[in-house]
A and B are shown apart, each in its own frame.
Chain A
Amino acid sequence: MKIAVLSGKGGTGKTMLSVNLSYISSNAYYVDCDVEEPNGLLFFKTEEIDIHNVYNKIPVIDHDLCVRCRKCSDFCQFNALAFINGKIHLFPDLCHACGGCSLVCPVDAIREKDRILGRVYKGSYQHVAVLSGELNIGEQSGIPIIKSLMSMVEEDKNVVIFDAPPGNGCPVMETISDVDYCVLVAEPSVFGLHNLKMVYELVEVFGKKAGIVINKANNHAMIHDFAKAYKIPIIGEIPMDKEIGRLLSEGVVLAENEKYVQMFQSIMDKIDKVVKS
């Protein structure tokens, strides 16, 4: 069973919920797909970590072979190639690694080389297998890192929790593309509701089963009204609570404390029922 946890607005509680849902499962992966600001490892303090670089391909131009036809720079949709003083120049951070320039070159003057985009981490926290990735600062797209994380998920576990990036852009689409269920974490604020609507639209487009978990639940009629209007089930509420806030600020996995287990277990049970139906 693959579950994505998303919210639209940042700071709503995606990581808190993802970490705890994976912790209460006896056999789960936790996958932090927020590769621009990964923070799952703040909770899952893994001791031994395997680190691998993630690469993409950028063109290397052989200026001796180049016939200065400019087909490559004309072709590039990302404007990563410029023709300056009779020489093709590359702007690596604009390059999307599509490989088109080397295809259109009539004299095979372009080959490709690896460029490091970021890293992926693999470790474990007690019984949870933890995967996390990090995009290098200044890079345009974290998709290759997310794809790399996806490829590291093996069939050996029965639950996979994907902690999605905020927003509803390409990285979120990549994260939810293959999941069975989307948990929409909502925060009862005007901003929170607005972004909840945005991610719900995305989940609709992808035709995914979804349910809402209200976090920091207090004065949350607005979320209930929205859920009712759009017929989205509310599968859990996590109260606005000082003690929870304090534990989270210390990087504590709430479900390690017996008194919080049921709160997350009941969410998991509801998801399980819907996915298996």
Chain B
Amino acid sequence: MIIALPIESDAKNASVSEHFGRSPYFYIFNSQENLGKIYQNKHIEEHGGVGVKTSQMMLDHAVQILISPRVGGKSLDVLNAGGIHIYESVKGTAEENIKRYLNGQLKKLF
């Protein structure tokens, strides 16, 4: 299972971002390998359609589960078409949110 979360910085214990499309970093976790990596979002300075590009980044990393406080309309179109399930994050770090997801404690958004 590949799980992605928008995070506020490239630190290991970074909190989940308040936004999806313009989140500066993403934490992408592979549960089979128990391995997480941090990726920079190179699209945040772009003028429009950032959600589309960020969602594209999720698809390119073969993400299956996205944990985020919210997503915009165009992002949702891409994520839905790509079959990515979206769960609502709670305040805290990426690790805490992944743990909650694996324990079935997060609400499914879409």
Nearest-Cβ distance from residue B69 to partner chain A, whole angstroms: 22
Bound complex: CA A68 to CA B31 (Å): 29
Q: Which of B11-19, B42-50, B85-93, B97-105 contacts A (4 or more CB under 8 A)?
A: B42-50
Q: Known contacts being A73-B56, A79-B53, is A85 close to B82, with CB within 8 Å?
A: yes
Q: Known contacts being A79-B53, A82-B55, A83-B59, is A94 close to B78, with CB within 8 Å?
A: no
Bound complex: CA A140 to CA B77 (Å): 19
Nearest CB to that of B50 among chain A residues? A79
Tell me, yes or no, whether A191 is within 8 Å of chain B by CB: no
B-contacting residues, A43-81, CB 8 Å: 73, 77-80
Contacts of B59 in A (CB 8 A): 82-85
Verify B49–A84 contact, CB threshold 8 A: no
Tell me, yes or no, whether A206 is within 8 Å of chain B by CB: no
For chain A, the count of residues having a C-beta within 8 Å of the partner chain is 13
Bound complex: CA A239 to CA B42 (Å): 54
> Is chain B's binding surface mostly helix, strand, loop or mixed?
helix
Tell me, yes or no, whether B52 is within 8 Å of chain A by CB: yes
Bound complex: CA A82 to CA B60 (Å): 11
Bound complex: CA A77 to CA B49 (Å): 9
A-contacting residues, B66-110, CB 8 Å: 74, 77-78, 81-83
Contacts of A73 in B (CB 8 A): 56
Bound complex: CA A79 to CA B43 (Å): 10
Verify B52–A80 contact, CB threshold 8 A: yes
Binding site for B on A (CB under 8 A): 73, 77-80, 82-85, 89, 91, 94, 140
Q: Could you pull out 20 A-B pairs where Cβ atoms are within 8 angstroms?
A: A73-B56, A77-B46, A77-B47, A78-B47, A78-B48, A79-B52, A79-B53, A82-B52, A82-B53, A82-B55, A82-B59, A83-B59, A84-B59, A84-B81, A84-B82, A89-B78, A91-B52, A91-B74, A91-B77, A94-B48
